[in-house]
Amino acid sequence: MMKDRKAVVLFSGGLDSTTVLYYAMAKGYKCKCLMFDYGQRHSKELLSAVKIANLVKVENVIIKMNLPWTNDVLTSSSEIIPVHKHLPKTIPSTYVYGRNTLFLSYALSYAQSIKACVIFIGANAVDFSNYPDCTPEFIKAYNNVLKTLKTEIVVCAPLLKLNKAQIIKLGTKLNVPYKNTWTCYNGYKKPCMKCDSCKLRIKGFKEAKLSDPAL
Ligand SMILES: [Zn+2]
């Protein structure tokens, strides 16, 4: 029965994954949020995630991951977050090696243990930072991994082919509290408005002809 179907939602408290959480809830899934502390330079995103999960009374688990070998700029506080004039066409320095593969592996293990049938991920390949683990090819390949493991679990990435404005319009219909979401790569008091992540968010709200309640 639909209302008993469980889903694991990879959740960061950002704009995309919050939209996905609301999407999954609207589809009738009993959601469990999986969040990761992988050494991000700030905890603002994670704090947003906990706040939103509590708001919708969804059970959440935080996985503390230790990645001592990373040298990306998101987990190294000594590096400066790059400001690109145009979105990068190659893999940017904010890419955390294997991040979504790691997240999905934890999600698979969790989903099997609680008998969930779907793993929701907010991957998006239109207005995105060119991360190789956010593409339709990657999601398809990971679903093949799940098949070889003889599980019935599928990875669902409902935002994969939507642009940022479409994601925001969808979320607005679903009453996503964008006010509580955190997108910026930096952990300042307010979003920096300059990093790639902020730029994509600004572009999305502008194209959707909506104002960003977080600003
Ligand atoms: Zn920013």
State pLDDT tens for residues 8-41.
999 999 999 999 999 999 999 999 999 999 887 7
Mean pLDDT of the chain: 90
Please tell me which of 17-21, 80-84, 123-127 the model is most confident about, judged by mean pLDDT.
Answer: 17-21
Q: Give the pLDDT score at 91.
A: 81
Measured distance CA(215)–CA(200) in Å, rounded: 14
Residue 110 lies in a domain: yes
Residue 215 lies in a domain: no
- The CA 2 to ligand 1 mean position distance, Å, reads 39
Q: Give the pLDDT score at 111.
A: 97
Residue 150 lies in a domain: yes
- The CA 197 to ligand 1 mean position distance, Å, reads 6
Measured distance CA(97)–CA(73) in Å, rounded: 11
pLDDT in tens, 134-165: 999 999 999 999 999 999 999 999 999 999 99
Instruction: State the pLDDT confidence band at 88, using cuts at 50, 70 and 90.
Output: low
Across residues 184-199, what is the average pLDDT? 88
Q: State the total domains in the chain.
A: 1
- The CA 211 to ligand 1 mean position distance, Å, reads 17
- Per DSSP (E only), the strands in 65-199 are 118-120, 154-156
- The CA 115 to ligand 1 mean position distance, Å, reads 37
pLDDT at 54 over 60: yes
Tell me which residue range forms the domain holding 26. Answer: 2-207
Residue 212 lies in a domain: no
- The CA 190 to ligand 1 mean position distance, Å, reads 9
pTM of the model: 0.91
Measured distance CA(19)–CA(1) in Å, rounded: 24
Measured distance CA(11)–CA(93) in Å, rounded: 22
Locus of tokens 């404005």: 165
- The CA 40 to ligand 1 mean position distance, Å, reads 14
Q: Give the pLDDT score at 32.
A: 97
Q: Give the pLDDT score at 170.
A: 98
- The CA 113 to ligand 1 mean position distance, Å, reads 36
- The CA 201 to ligand 1 mean position distance, Å, reads 9
- The CA 150 to ligand 1 mean position distance, Å, reads 41
The CATH number linked to 128 is 3.40.50.620
Residue 164 lies in a domain: yes
